[in-house]
Amino acid sequence: MSQVPRLFRRFLPQLLHMIALPLFFFAFILIYNPYSMRDFIGDEWVGVHVTIISCIILASTILLRLLYYYLPLKLNYTLYTFWCLAEMIFMTFFVAMYLWLVLEKPVPYFDALIVSFRYIFLTLVIPYSIIALSVRIYDYSNRSSESEKGVQRMRFYDSGHNLKLVVTAGTVLYIGAEENYINIFYTDGGRIRNYVLRNSMKSVDELCLSHGLVRCHRSYYINPAHVKVLRKDKEGFIYAELDSPDLGDIPVSKRYYDRLSEMLY
C-alpha cells in the first residue's frame, strides 16, 4: 500500500479540515435536518444545540489535526482512513456527553453515544471525502505534469513537514547527515549549492530511492550519475570521487560498494 502524499501533511489541508468540518456540519444539519436529528434533540433551541455541537467538533478537529501535523507519522491510505475514523469517534464521545447532559428527556449515555456517532459519521464523511479527494487530485496533477515534461523534482520537507526545497533530481550530487540536520548538495546554474535541512536521514530514505539516489554510507546518499570513479586509499577505505572538483570525496561503506559500483557501468 502506497504512502499518503506529503501534501496531506502540510498545514493547509489541516486548516481546511479545521474549518470545513464544523461549518459543513452546522449548515447541513440546520438546512436539511438529516437522519431525524431534531426528533432526538427537539425543535426547541435546536439552533443553540447545533451551534454548540459544531464548536465541539471544531475544538476536537483542531486538537487532532495539530497532533497529526506534528507527529512524525508515515501512513498509507488505509491507516489514514482509520485516523479519520478515530477523529470522528473522538468527537462522538464529547458530543454524546453534551447531549446526555442537556437533553430534558432521560437518555442513557450509551444511546446518546450511538446516535451521536450516526449523526457525525454520516454527515462528516462527506467533507472528509471531498477534502481528501481534492488534495489527492491536486497532488496527482502536479506529479503528472512533471512526468509529461520529463522532469523529476525532489521535494524536501523539514521536521515540521514544511516544504523547504524543491530541486530537479538530476542536479542533486549527494546528501549527507550531520546530527539532526542533512546537507543537500546540488547544482544550480553551474554552481554548487548546499542547503541545510533540519530533519533526519531516515525521513528522506523513500524520497532518495524513488529518484535514483543510492545509499553509499549510513550517513550519505549519492547520485550515481555524478560519480566519476570509486577508489581505495592505502588503508583500504573506499571513496567516491564526484564529477565536481570543488567537492571532497564521499566515503563508501563495503556493504554498499557492490550496489553502487554496479550502477556505474
pLDDT of 151 over the 60 cut: yes
Q: What is the spatial distance between Cα 81 and Cα 146, in angstroms, rounded to a whole number? A: 28
Q: What is the spatial distance between Cα 15 and Cα 131, in angstroms, rounded to a whole number? A: 11
pLDDT digits (tens, 9 = 90+) for 242-252: 888 778 889 99
Helix (H, G, I), strand (E, B), or coil: what is residue 152?
coil
In b/e form, how buried is each residue of 166-196, taking b as 16+ CB within 10 angstroms? ebebebbbbbbbeeeebebbbbeeeeeeeee
pTM of the model: 0.59
CA distances from 23 to 17, 77, 118, 263 (A): 10, 25, 18, 54
Classify 153 in phi/psi space as left (phi over 0), alpha (psi -120 to 50) or beta.
beta
Q: What is the spatial distance between Cα 223 and Cα 170, in angstroms, rounded to a whole number? A: 8
Q: What is the spatial distance between Cα 159 and Cα 181, in angstroms, rounded to a whole number? A: 10
Give 1's pLDDT tier (boundaries 50, 70, 90).
very low
Cα 184–chain centre separation: 21
Give 188's pLDDT tier (boundaries 50, 70, 90).
confident
Q: At what angle do helices 77-102 and 109-148 cross, to 10 degrees?
A: 150
pLDDT digits (tens, 9 = 90+) for 34-78: 666 766 776 677 888 889 999 999 999 999 999 888 887 777 778
**Which domains does the chain show, CATH number per domain?**
6-148 (no CATH), 153-262 (2.40.50.1020)
Cα 222–chain centre separation: 25
| Order of strands, sheet of 214-217, starting from the edge strand that comes earlier in the sequence | 191-198, 181-188, 172-178, 220-222, 214-217
